[in-house]
Amino acid sequence: MANNIPRYPPTYRQNELHLIIDAARQGQSLCLMGVAGIGKSNITNFLRYEPEQCTHQYLGDEPRKFLFPVVAGNAWDQKPQGLWEAMLAELAAITQDLPAPPPTDPKILQLSEEQRSFSLLRERLQWLVKDYQIMFILDDFDKVLQNGPLSMLEQLSTLRNAGNRDKLSYLIFTKKLPAVLGRAHPLQNNSKFYDLFKDHVYALEPYNREDAQQMLTFLNENAGRPLGTQDLILIREKLSGGHASLARIIFDSWLRARPDQEDLVAFFAKKPEVRNECQRIFQGLHREEQQVAQRLVRHQQRAEDQGIIDQLVRRGLLINQTTDEWVSPLLVEFLRSYTAEGGQSHG
């Protein structure tokens, strides 16, 4: 069966994409912080593979060309050279249909391999920014911010300042606050790279109702429409709360075995794949957030927890503190069953 349902509606992540495109147009950098599975990869794919559709929607006929090369931080080999080579390889991949760049300055061959990779990257960027606005998407960048040498991170700022200030920027995706990740350096007050986006760190919340419904309808169409409209509404409204990865896992699990409609939460809370996803969300939180979340679901919160509680609300995990409403009741079940001592969820 042909799927005529588009994966992304015209209003997909409207607020976030407007923010990103406007920043890219101005050569500004920003960071979107979201819990595991919240849908960061979908934004990345949308920008990476459909830049013209995306930029046209938000910029109209403005005569600018954009490139959104993607570098996966979780694949980084913890060496500066590895980062430069990954950035170079991605630039080559997304510009393979363009004319070949001018020959490399032969003097670069005399440098060390790391310096040579960085110089090649800088040359390629200087060639591309003549015609393009470039926003590097630094995806899953927690490990890089936490463990990357400060000198390497500063080189990212150097690339932008080498005549590319208004044409090169970065979109950083993390699960945790960049300032906390970079405490060891420290990034705060000590990094020109961090200064590029420190005032532009935003929480990436779960899908809104329309985006979540579009994703589930797309999945259902691809599978031959095995689930009814009411089933999809239950996944969206009662189980996943718009958490993209959790919604997909529940959908796939539903296909494998029809759930007990009498208690959907209890049925899915016992599924290993659901518990694993909830644990992935939990482990992507800061330690203080983990502790406060566990106290909240047990109604043991303290007065001094309010700042962290507000942070959980901004993340979109806690919807309403007064009514104890969380993004998903499945996450609540996980948090209640999780023992801090053993680090195990009792299913």
Which tens digit of pLDDT belongs to each residue from 197-239? 999 999 999 999 999 999 999 999 999 999 999 999 999 999 9
Q: What whole-number distance in Å separates Cα of residue 131 and Cα of residue 143?
A: 32
The parent domain of residue 307 ranges over 209-345
pLDDT band for 55, please (50, 70, 90 cuts): confident
How far is CA 314 from each of CA 33, 109, 160, 194, 209, rounded to the nearest angstrom? 10, 49, 30, 21, 17
pLDDT band for 64, please (50, 70, 90 cuts): confident
| pLDDT confidence of residue 50 | 78
pLDDT band for 54, please (50, 70, 90 cuts): confident
Question: Which amino acid does the sequence have at 30?
Answer: L
Last residue of a domain, one of 203, 227, 248: 203
The predicted-structure confidence for 12-45, as pLDDT tens digits, reads as follows 898 999 999 999 999 999 999 999 999 998 899 8
- Same domain as 230, residue 151: no
| pLDDT confidence of residue 312 | 95
Name 71's bridge partners. Answer: 138
| pLDDT confidence of residue 208 | 92
pLDDT: which is higher, 60 or 127: 127
- Same domain as 224, residue 152: no
Looking at the chain, the whole-number percentage of residues with pLDDT higher than 90 is 72
Residue 68 burial (C-beta neighbours within 10 Å; 0-12, 13-18, 19+): buried
| pLDDT confidence of residue 339 | 60
| pLDDT confidence of residue 2 | 52
Cβ atoms of residues 41 and 207 within 8 Å = no
pLDDT band for 341, please (50, 70, 90 cuts): very low
The Cα angle at residue 14 between residues 13 and 19, in degrees rounded to 5: 100
| pLDDT confidence of residue 106 | 65
- Same domain as 137, residue 22: yes
- Same domain as 279, residue 172: no
Q: 213 in a domain, yes or no?
A: yes
pTM over 0.85: yes
Cβ atoms of residues 205 and 15 within 8 Å = no
Phi, psi (degrees; rounded to nearest 5) at 174 = -135, 165
The predicted-structure confidence for 146-180, as pLDDT tens digits, reads as follows 999 999 999 999 998 877 789 999 999 999 999 99
How far is CA 52 from each of CA 18, 75, 179, 315, rounded to the nearest angstrom? 14, 27, 33, 29
- Same domain as 145, residue 41: yes
Q: 304 in a domain, yes or no?
A: yes
| pLDDT confidence of residue 346 | 41
pLDDT band for 102, please (50, 70, 90 cuts): confident
- Same domain as 142, residue 69: yes
| pLDDT confidence of residue 1 | 47
- Same domain as 157, residue 266: no
Q: 78 in a domain, yes or no?
A: yes
Helix, strand, or coil (residue 141):
coil
Total domain count for the chain? 2
pLDDT beyond 90 at 103: no
| pLDDT confidence of residue 107 | 61
Q: What whole-number distance in Å separates Cα of residue 213 and Cα of residue 232?
A: 7
The predicted-structure confidence for 120-145, as pLDDT tens digits, reads as follows 899 899 999 999 999 999 999 999 99
Phi, psi (degrees; rounded to nearest 5) at 97 = -90, 0
Kindly provide the b/e burial profile for residues 48-61, where b requires at least 16 CB atoms within 10 angstroms of the residue's own CB.
beebeebbebbbee
- Same domain as 54, residue 156: yes
| pLDDT confidence of residue 108 | 56
Of 40-54, 229-243, 279-293, where does mean pLDDT reach its minimum?
40-54
Of 186-190, 198-202, 242-246, where does mean pLDDT reach its minimum?
186-190
